[in-house]
Structure 1
Amino acid sequence: MADVTLKQIAEIAGVSAATVSYVLSGKRKVSKATELRVLSVAKQLNYSPNLFAQQLKRGESFLIFALLNTYSSSFNGEALQKIEHSFEEKGYRLLAMTGGLDDIIRTNIFDGGIILNYHTTKQEIQTLEESTGKPLILLSNQSNQKNTASVIMDNFGGMKLVLAEFAKSEHQNICFIQGPEGSYNNTSRAESARYFYKELFQRDDFDIRLYRGNFVSDESYKLAFHLLKNKLYNAFVCFNDSTALGVYKAAYELGIQVGKDISVAGFDNTSYSEFVSPALTTVDVDKDLWAKEVVKNYLALKDRSIETNEVKIPASLIKRGSIKYKSI
């Protein structure tokens, strides 16, 4: 439809013509929801007098969706920023979404996508790939489905580093605070913790030491307050940094000093972990390397040079002041 105007797109999308212009030219940032709505309308109307439509006619939009469970996660935000930059270097735009898989299948404007910390089953991944035929990169799941690649953190190696530190700690009455059910990272970290706890501490009581904080600071705070008040544990292995933040808050309110009275470690090395007091010992992953591997594997899938792949990004331990060690 050659006579479609920006004004017509704007009316259907419920935005101004200027906003439509910003979205189609990429010259100014608008909200992700607005961007998606405008691009979807433009495609439906077959808007043509610009590069965007020329790309769509060739079957390319240079848009990549990033599906995540929440925008509020510090780790999600930091990882996405790195990934977005790496995609932009290759001429792609990243659009973060928290909607369901049906939204992606229905709009059908993306060249491919990444799934980060979003609970999906293998069947859902298969359905998404078969419905779109586009490359998928999984950052928190494993799959050998064709046209997919998993670029994941080495949770096994990371948990080994954490528990090796607690083996040297003065505090060895350990509590494990895990994330939500259905989370790949949580399951992987729990299995790894179980293995290394038995190997390093020669104990079989892991299950009674495992609690659920759902990767949320508030829930972890309430749990930790109860555990600390009743003096049940003096060491806390937290399956992400938000969980550790909840333990810190509970300890502070009870007059307990982290790194002296109790030991705490986190996972993910989020930006705030070095600014709490004492700074949090936590597992890190090179987010720049992770982002580059995401884009590298996406392009390899797109070019059909690989059909499927799995890459594990090595973990390292950032040692700070939240673990009290045995006196030598």
Structure 2
Amino acid sequence: MITIKDVAKEAGVSVATISRVLNNSPGVSDETREKVLSVIKRLNYNPNLLGRNLRRMETKMVLVLLPAISNPFYARIVKGIEDVAQKNGYGVMLCNTDSNIERERMYLELLKNKLSDGVIFMAPEIGEEELNDIGEKYAVVQCCEYKEGANVSHVSIDNYKASYKAVKHLIGLGHKNIGFISCKNNFLSTKHRESGYKKALEDSEIEFNPDYIRYGDYSFKSGFRAAHGLLNDFKEITAIFAISDIMAIGAIKACYENGLKVPDDIAIVGFDNISFAPMYNPSLTTVSQPKYDIGCTAMELLIKQIKNKGGHRENIVLEHELIIRQSTVK
């Protein structure tokens, strides 16, 4: 097994110089640095990065806690996180919490035991007080979903405005009886999307009907069931807005099984602009979140906190876009 001493001997420099090159420290000429790196490559030397980083109280590893790793919405966000992490020498550990608070706490023990330098929450289950306590001691960023009262950095979009814009699009097409497929959870995004739906109706002088709201769990089946119930109970409904693309696609399936054509008989709008939203037939009108940029920004914030040992908290709101496709336009 090749050791650091072997590299030093082959390169004709001290072990300390090899260490400075590995740590990218100053005090080494470009010529010497290139020579050492060439020897490292030729000898195929693999330094013990974990041991070296632990001695410096760093692991170069960050945690990303997701409520459902199977949800395609998170794919581009994670890609953004990983790209920025890799450029800055960090590894990423994906942790599936299943929205289980005890499982979330189990993963957080890795942070508390100094096996990770920081954590990105996609949808924290722990309460604001516990989140604040962790945020005071460690590098923490909330991504997409966040606790409004927590003094912890977050990156998201304005879900209220995004939902409002989506419903106003339907109203602009002449729809007044608009069903809404939401979720029963404590997510702030859900609350804001419901508020945006109601406000768009109010501003257009359309009476809000609470029975037009049905609930799913972000799955295709739940979107199908919710839409099926709406269509059976209210024949006058001519449009449905779902707070996720997966549920919206389930709603389209329910429409077809009820003998309705999309968009000829009924319009459907989703949320998130997942990768296969434009591939579905009909292609799905949806609110697009800048998922890759959200991931990049979250990781950049986390690295800033790691380097500054905490520091100033930042809340960043990125722009959304309503993408109009075949599911609403005849």
SS in 2 for 1:271: coil
Once residues 176 and 144 of structure 1 are traced to their aligned partners in structure 2, the CA distance between those partners, rounded to angstroms, is: 27
Q: Amino acid of the residue matched to residue 251 of structure 2?
A: V
Shift of 1:232: 4.6
1:200-258 Cα distance to aligned partner (Å, 9 max, x none): x2134253322211222211211211222342511101111011011011112222111
1:176-209 Cα distance to aligned partner (Å, 9 max, x none): 111231122211211222222211x213425332
Q: Which residue of 2 aligns with 1:105?
A: 108
Q: Which residue of 1 aligns with 2:215?
A: 212
Q: Which residue of 1 aligns with 2:132?
A: 126
Instruction: Give the alignment of 1:285-296 within 5 angstroms.
Output: 285-296=289-300
Shift of 1:125: 1.1
Once residues 176 and 162 of structure 1 are traced to their aligned partners in structure 2, the CA distance between those partners, rounded to angstroms, is: 11
Q: Amino acid of the residue matched to residue 211 of structure 2?
A: I
Runs of 5+ unmatched residues, structure 1: 1-48
Number of paired residues? 273
SS in 2 for 1:119: coil
The structure whose Rg is larger is 2
1:91-132 Cα distance to aligned partner (Å, 9 max, x none): 1111111242321332331100111134332123124335xx
1:54-101 Cα distance to aligned partner (Å, 9 max, x none): 101211111111111111111022321222122111111111112423
Shift of 1:300: 2.4
Q: Which of 311, 316, 322 does residue 317 from structure 1 map onto? A: 322
Q: Which residue of 2 aligns with 1:141?
A: 146
Contact 1:101 1:128 in 2 (8 A): no
Once residues 174 and 281 of structure 2 are traced to their aligned partners in structure 1, the CA distance between those partners, rounded to angstroms, is: 19
Contact 1:162 1:317 in 2 (8 A): yes
Instruction: Give the alignment of 1:1-328 within 5 angstroms.
Output: 50-99=48-97, 100-107=103-110, 108=113, 109-130=115-136, 133-139=137-143, 140-143=145-148, 145-146=150-151, 148-199=152-203, 201-230=204-233, 231-304=235-308, 306-324=311-329
Greater shift in the superposed pair: 285-294 or 158-167: 285-294
Once residues 245 and 303 of structure 1 are traced to their aligned partners in structure 2, the CA distance between those partners, rounded to angstroms, is: 43
RMSD: 2.0
Q: Amino acid of the residue matched to residue 64 of structure 1?
A: V
Q: 1:206 to 1:124 in 2, by over 3 A?
A: farther
Q: 1:220 to 1:144 in 2, by over 3 A?
A: closer
1:244-282 Cα distance to aligned partner (Å, 9 max, x none): 011011112222111111001000000111111110000
The share of aligned pairs that are identical, in percent, is: 22
Runs of 5+ unmatched residues, structure 2: 1-46, 98-102
Once residues 82 and 206 of structure 1 are traced to their aligned partners in structure 2, the CA distance between those partners, rounded to angstroms, is: 40
Q: Which residue of 2 aligns with 1:30?
A: none
Q: 1:62 to 1:271 in 2, by over 3 A?
A: same
SS in 2 for 1:273: coil
Q: Amino acid of the residue matched to residue 107 of structure 2?
A: I
Q: Which residue of 1 aligns with 2:33?
A: none
Shift of 1:144: 6.0
Q: 1:322 to 1:120 in 2, by over 3 A?
A: farther
Q: Amino acid of the residue matched to residue 327 of structure 2?
A: S
Contact 2:104 2:125 in 1 (8 A): no
Q: Amino acid of the residue matched to residue 255 of structure 2?
A: A
Shift of 1:156: 2.0
Once residues 237 and 73 of structure 2 are traced to their aligned partners in structure 1, the CA distance between those partners, rounded to angstroms, is: 27
SS in 2 for 1:272: coil
Q: 1:117 to 1:254 in 2, by over 3 A?
A: same
Contact 1:194 1:206 in 2 (8 A): no
TM-score (normalizing by structure 1) = 0.77
Greater shift in the superposed pair: 263-272 or 171-180: 171-180
Once residues 128 and 289 of structure 1 are traced to their aligned partners in structure 2, the CA distance between those partners, rounded to angstroms, is: 25
